[in-house]
Chains A and B, each alone.
Chain A
Amino acid sequence: MKIVIAGAGEVGTHLARMLSRENHDIVLLDDSPEKLSNISSDVDLLTIAGSAHSFEDLKRTGLVKADLFIAVTPFEERNVLACSMASYLGVGRTIARINNSEYLQERYKAKLKNLGIHELIYPESLAAKEVVASVKQTGTRQLIEFSGGKLLLLGVKVRENAPVLNKTFKELSLENEHILVVAINRNNVTIIPKGTDFIQNGDIVFFVTTRLEQQHVFELTGKKIFEVKNIMFLGGSRVAQKAIEKLGDQYRIKIIENDLERCKKMADKFGNALVINGDGRNLSLLKEEGIEKMDAFVATTGNSETNILSCHLAKTFGVRRTIAEVENLAYMNLAEQMDIGTIINKKLNAASYIYRFTLNAEISKVKCLTASDAEVFEFTAKTNAKITKKTIKDLGFPQEAIIGGTIRRGIGYIAHGDTKIEVGDKVVVFTLPSGIKKLEKFFK
């Protein structure tokens, strides 16, 4: 597939790198030649220096023959305009990055489509969603819902008090019919489990289960669920603002922000939150504001180091739930080892979101698992797709991938070896990056 990406910022370069590795033809457009020369030396792509909203420059990218145009410059209006122009020039599909949730409303969708903007991506909103999910769902590292919660994927860190320790997966699946382990992340390596493997202390285990059996997972892993009431936000970034907006009124929220102007704006916007002007790295300030009484601590300043360290600090004060925004990919494993609960990365979120448009199968959801490079997909089994021909154990499914479950007529089922997938089922598949290409042919 030929893909043109406008904007060589963090999201753009990450996407380019990832998609180029998947053998897509990437053309990257940016107005800064320095940024382009940095990436072109180690990624196999074509770079073009030029403006995203110039017809001439867009034409030079060979847009006419491209299948997908992704505008991810930092400027919303530029992205929207660029997508519109790209559509006019004849690109198959366009995706614009926006900073304004207004565009996401259903009633404007047709208008935007008329302008030639097919999909919208709002990375801050996606990140905020993760923050909210992780505040609401204590006990897990990650929670992904499929088809409105018919199936759940829970990522749980297993500690020494967990009853599930040292049991082989074979035993586990015999004892618990409605729970399936799809992957474990051990020492930063993601493993697709086989029957004889067992769970060790310190693993992050990804379970697929239904809503009813969810509690059982927590019992197995020895997690106690607690109610979050007090939340402290460090940094009033757009992610934080979005998250506070989504959280609503039932929480007691404190925001610590360095910039006075921003504080004023936040105080104006969120009447129910207490906005404190001060440096979040100031220990006495944190103590004064009662950090030890907090149930959750969310660090989303623009600085990954500050976020990691302050979450670490919050942990030592006994905050049970900490969430850090880590934009520096190299720090993600480090943060994981430092036991910072949930790690949020805008880039990865955005990239997974866009990723689905590059695959040749019908996909309703793609998510990247935190602290691992694996992805989980929700495919729809089409008529005559290879996946519907045989039972799972006879399919010859790639080793790097595993089927977690299916949703048939609104009811979620956990997959077993003799499950047969029917046309129209939604199938939750978990895969390592090397397996993605192989999956495509099963669902075509």
Chain B
Amino acid sequence: MNFKIIIRVLGFLLIIEGIAILLALLVSAIYNEHDLNAFIISAGINLSIGGLIVLTTKNTNKNIGKREGFIIVTLVWVVFSFFGCLPFILSGSIPNFTNAFFETMSGFTTTGSSILSDIEALPHGILFWRSIIQWLGGMGIIVLSLAILPVFGIGGMQLFVAEVPGPTPDKISPRISQTAKTLWVIYLGFTITETILLWIGGMTVFDAICHSFTTMATGGFSTKQASIAYWSSPFIQYVIIVFMFFAGTNFTLSYLALKGRFKSVFKDEEFKYYGLFIIGFTLIIFIGLLVSTQLNAEPAFRDAFFQVVSIITTTGYATADYLKWSPILTILLFSLFFFGGSAGSTGGGIKIMRIVLLLKNSYYEMRRMLHPNAVIPVKFNKHSVDSKIITNVLAFFMLYITIFGLSTIIFTIIEPDVESAMGAVATSLGNIGPGLGNVGPAENFLHIRPFGKWFLSFLMLLGRLELFTVLILFSPAFWKR
């Protein structure tokens, strides 16, 4: 194991985090609030530790193997959360370390679960920092560093595969660094467009930027306690729906669309199912809301649409409290917790592609039983899918459900309410944000006991890195030579 390169890469990444803190520092300086010192100290700590590591680990063998790749990617997210919670603690916004770590991990993994009960009371710098960590985590820290740092030799692809969600990450261009750059440029472009639209819709520039950050990351942190419900403007809500939808789409497709190849976008099978699921669930919930509440057609449609897109893309914004809906609608929405965005998007969860492959495979299995000698491969995008990928998807699903089940059992020890426990675990694993019961959209995670918070933080990491990257570190085979 080449530990030196692992440390060196972490050093470089700490510098990147330091630079991100400087951005928040800038905001704090503009508003001239009391959190300025906290940012100065945090940036100093990040930059000096990162710089020290980079300077002392020169002349390192640049070779990053598979094992180093998995360790680097997992460690980066943990280390980032440790250093990223410094501004929260130092500014006194979240003085408790456990709470601050939970908030930061929830940010980086784009979960969006919060322990804050009075968000509006926080200074602007801290609010901005909350948004920017989600933005960094959305497209991925490693992907960002691949785009701007030339530190990785041949190991870049290992890292890319370990971080980018989906069973088979695509490259857009021959060079991994070029692919990463393209992804970030698209990401940045979407963010800027959304900022402008939200600003036109009546948000302040500050709120518009923060919400664009957290929308595109499918994160869900808001600058308001009431989340998006704070703005009653339908325009703002529709804009956010559209951009949540983009964020939950495979960025390769966005790239194709920007190049004018709409045909290949609409031909994409995952995209079709993604659209179908959204339309289907929206319609059912819309009708359900019309029947069960006194809402008018447009607000009912908007509430249904917003909540469905917010949950399926794992963003977790709220414009309505779905716990107050009739139980059938709540459970329908809860089932979406397990869908997630498309592969190659910033969304979490199981991912549409996996769900579709699983369903197709199960359906073909019946045909295979009728025709024992028939060769019936699972087809996706008109190509048969390698059985290796099917096995991988099956294993992923099995693990996901097992982890969900086991974690719920463990969590009920801390949180005796089964519904809340299920909600908390599912929302953390799927990187969504709000859960059920006492962690619903109108509540927060402050009241959960420290052990529970650490446990949920771990689940968020598992979910963001799609289980295998983290779990593999716990397998004995990984450490055997």
Contact = CB atoms under 8 A, between A and B. Distances in A.
B154 A2 contact: no
Contact of B157 (A2, A26, A27, A41): A41
A43 B386 CA distance: 21
Nearest to B171: A46
Interface string B161-184: 000000000010111101000000
Contacts of A44: 154, 156-157, 174-176
Contact of A2 (B158, B171, B174): B174
Most buried by B among A2, A27, A43, A46: A46
Nearest to B160: A44
Interface string B138-158: 000000000000000010111
A40 interface: yes
Nearest to B383: A49
Interface in B306-332: none
A426 B175 CA distance: 35
A45 interface: yes
A42 interface: yes
A25 B156 contact: no
A46 B173 CA distance: 6
Contacts of A33: 386
Helix, strand, loop or mixed for chain A's interface? mixed
A374 to B, nearest CB: 21
Contacts of B157: 40-44
B154 A43 contact: yes
A43 B176 CA distance: 10
B171 A42 contact: no
A20 B156 CA distance: 13
Contacts of A21: 154
Nearest to A61: B174
B174 A25 contact: yes
Interface string A24-66: 0111000001000000111111100000000000000000000
Interface in A102-138: none
Contacts of B154: 21, 42-44
A45 B175 CA distance: 6
A25 B175 contact: yes
A215 B232 CA distance: 94
Interface in B60-77: none
A25 B386 contact: no
Q: Looking at B157, B171, B174, B175, which has the most chain A CB atoms within 10 Å of its CB? A: B174
A309 B171 CA distance: 43
B386 A45 contact: no
Contacts of B171: 46
- Looking at A21, A25, A42, A44, the one whose CB has the most chain B CB atoms below 10 A away is A44
A45 B177 CA distance: 11
A25 B173 CA distance: 8
A20 B173 CA distance: 13
Contacts of A40: 157
Interface string A13-29: 00000001100011100
Nearest to B157: A44
Contacts of A42: 154, 157
Q: Rank and list the top 10 A-B pairs by shortest CB-CB distance, nearest first.
A: A25-B174, A46-B174, A44-B176, A46-B171, A45-B174, A26-B174, A27-B174, A25-B175, A44-B175, A44-B156
Given A25-B175, A42-B154, A44-B176, 4 more contacts: A25-B173, A33-B386, A41-B158, A44-B175
23 contacts: A20-B174, A21-B154, A25-B173, A25-B174, A25-B175, A25-B178, A26-B174, A27-B174, A40-B157, A41-B158, A42-B154, A42-B157, A43-B154, A44-B154, A44-B156, A44-B157, A44-B174, A44-B175, A44-B176, A45-B174, A46-B171, A46-B173, A46-B174
Interface of B: 154, 156-158, 171, 173-176, 178, 386
Interface of A: 2, 20-21, 25-27, 33, 40-46
